[in-house]
Amino acid sequence: MPKIAKQPVWQVSWQLTFKTTGRTLLDMKNSAKAQDTRSALIEAGIEQLSNYGYHGTGIKQILDAVNVPKGSFYNYFPSKEAFVADLLTHYIQSHLDEQDAFTANSRASPLNTLRQLFQKGIERYEAQGCQQGCLIGCLAAEIGSTKGLCQNAMKAAAHAWEERITTLIEQAQQQGEVRQDLPAAALARLVWSCWEGALLRMKLEGKVDPLQDVIDHFIDRLLAV
Amino acid sequence: MPKIAKQPVWQVSWQLTFKTTGRTLLDMKNSAKAQDTRSALIEAGIEQLSNYGYHGTGIKQILDAVNVPKGSFYNYFPSKEAFVADLLTHYIQSHLDEQDAFTANSRASPLNTLRQLFQKGIERYEAQGCQQGCLIGCLAAEIGSTKGLCQNAMKAAAHAWEERITTLIEQAQQQGEVRQDLPAAALARLVWSCWEGALLRMKLEGKVDPLQDVIDHFIDRLLAV
């Protein structure tokens, strides 16, 4: 399975050094404070983008949320687009890490593990009041291919998650839990689409029923043998 | 099946009448020009919103697109939110009318009619270069429940379209074309979700393959008997 790089694909760094001695006075790249600020900006960005979308989120409101002075944003990120692309990579990686840990520790069958992963998703969305969907799906709908850096990050995210689903379905097929007339990858793509569409519906209806349908009807009836 | 009102749910109207005689000098409500401008604003709005989303679309760019002077927007619509809600109702109704006409004239079986309806959708999205998804899905992702008027219009749109799918699946079940272990309405909700999620994926991938998967794998394999 391809692993999404944990580290951002680029990094802004600057150093303040004494011209005479070459001694480093301030190293922004390695400064713990800079890393903290960077992480805080990413966390605030995820929150704001989940609620207001790409165009509805201004750099200013993110800086305000973490008390970072206006103007210093570009010390951390070269552009809004690069910031969002980096944030999407961070967002998906934290979800994948969580899912991988859950799967690795699961004693349930592959199909039950898949079911439980989605059930955990339902609990998370319900705790958020059904207002925030999947950030990947929401931004795919809003900006699609118009922001190249973000599009690449979202495609990688979708593929990485789909690979996890494929592996579980493949194992479930081997154990005779899931129908075998279609390849696991094809079924995983349908599960991805169905879940993302159900998340849109959840936002409209303000309830998790469309997500529960994916488990109760799609996984348990259409996929399960 | 509930029918979405063809007429907008509200209308701004103003008349200029002579105080002495009561004769109408100008009736904005019934003026053909006003109706034309209103329709042109809605068409331009659909185009802009499909490309740039709710927050990425300004009133100014819509007015510019149809050469309507700045400031006159509020003669036609009380707010941006009301405009978008009205536009969504118009958008879905034109699609429903088209689908209803196609279904009424179809000589194919119910399942084949459903298949053909989605195939027509694929051709439309492909002709648009896979950049514009379903306006309902895209705005549901972006603004969800944050704009009450739009949310109501989107919910009504989703229900109206789902009702059409339900009816076709119900007929297909009666004719033994579709599995009968789940109610038609439950299957229709899954089809809705799967299609809307596949549209997100289409925008990311820049190709209609995820939509074709819905027909080839979901409808033809998971639903069909």
Q: Is residue B5 part of a domain?
A: no
| pLDDT surpasses 60 at A13 | no
pLDDT for residue B73 is more than 80: yes
Tens-place pLDDT, residues A178-221? 999 999 999 999 999 999 999 999 999 999 999 999 999 999 99
Has residue A10 been placed in a domain? no
Reported as type and span, the H/E element at residue B64 is helix B59-65
- Asked if the Cβ–Cβ distance from A140 to B201 is below 8 Å, we say yes
Band (B85; pLDDT cuts 50, 70, 90): very high
Per-residue pLDDT, averaged over B79-99, amounts to 94
Find the range with the poorest average confidence among A169-173, B104-108, B135-139. B135-139
Reading the block at residue A39, the tokens are 């992480």
Residue pLDDT, tens place only, A146-161: 888 999 999 999 999 9
User: Would you state the structure tokens that stand for residue B197, as one six-digit string?
Assistant: 């999620």
Q: Output the pLDDT for position B68.
A: 85
d(CA B178, CA B13): 50
Do A81 and A150 meet the contact criterion of CB atoms below 8 Å apart? yes
Strand duo B24-27 + B15-17: pairing: antiparallel
Q: Which residue type, as a one-letter code, is found at position A209?
A: D
* CATH code at position B44: 1.10.357.10
Which residue did the predictor score with more confidence, A78 or B24?
Answer: A78
Predicted pLDDT of residue A219: 97
Give the model's pLDDT for residue B31.
Answer: 63
Averaged pLDDT, A29-35: 66
Examine residue B110 and state whether it is found in any structural domain, yes or no. Answer: yes
Q: Write down the pLDDT at residue A8.
A: 43
Check pLDDT > 50 for residue A135. Answer: yes
CA B62 to chain centre: 18
Given this model, what pLDDT does residue A202 score? Answer: 94
* Closest by Cα among B82, B199, B55 to A49: B55
Which of A125-129, A172-176, B98-102, B191-195 is predicted least confidently? A125-129
Q: For residue A206, which amino acid is it? A: G
Kindly tell me if the per-residue pLDDT of A80 is higher than 50.
Answer: yes
Of B131, B140, B222, the CB nearest to A145: B131
Check residue A6 and give its pLDDT. 46
- Between residues A222 and A9, which one has the greater pLDDT? A222
Total structural domains within chain A: 1
- pLDDT grade for B13, boundaries at 50, 70 and 90: low
All residues of chain B having their beta carbon less than 8 Å from the beta carbon of residue A206 are 145
Q: How far is B128 from chain A (nearest CA, A)?
A: 13
User: Structural domain of residue A181, as residue ranges?
Assistant: 15-223
Chain A 124-183, residues with CB within 8 Å of chain B CB atoms: 130-131, 133, 137-138, 140-146, 151, 154-155, 158, 181-182
Burial of residue A135 (CB within 10 Å: 0-12, 13-18, 19+) is buried
Per-residue pLDDT at B1: 45
Taking the CA of residue B124 and the nearest CA in chain A, the distance in Å comes to 17
Q: What is the mean pLDDT of residues A31-52?
A: 85
pLDDT of residue A85: 95
User: Which of A49, A165, A200 to mutate against chain B (most B CBs within 10 Å)?
Assistant: A200
Mean pLDDT of chain A: 87
Nearest CA in chain B to A203: B144
B121 and chain A in contact, CB less than 8 A: no
Asked whether residue B113 carries a pLDDT value surpassing 50, the answer given is: yes
Please say whether the beta carbons of B131 and A145 come within 8 A: yes
Rounded to two decimals, the ipTM of the complex is: 0.84
On whether residue B10 sits in a domain, the answer given is no
Measure A19 CA to nearest chain B CA, in Å: 47
A53 part of contact set with chain B, CB < 8 Å: yes
**What is the Cα–Cα distance from B96 to B41, expressed in whole angstroms?**
21
The Cβ of residue A10 has, within 10 Å, a number of other Cβ atoms equal to: 12
pLDDT computed for residue A205 by the predictor: 93
**Does B45 fall in a domain?**
yes
Reference B138, options A71, A76, A197; nearest CA is A197
Q: In terms of pLDDT, which residue wins out, B141 or B224?
A: B224
Mean pLDDT of B125-139: 88
- Show the beta-strand stretches assigned E in chain A: 15-17, 24-27
Residue B34 within any structural domain of the chain:
yes
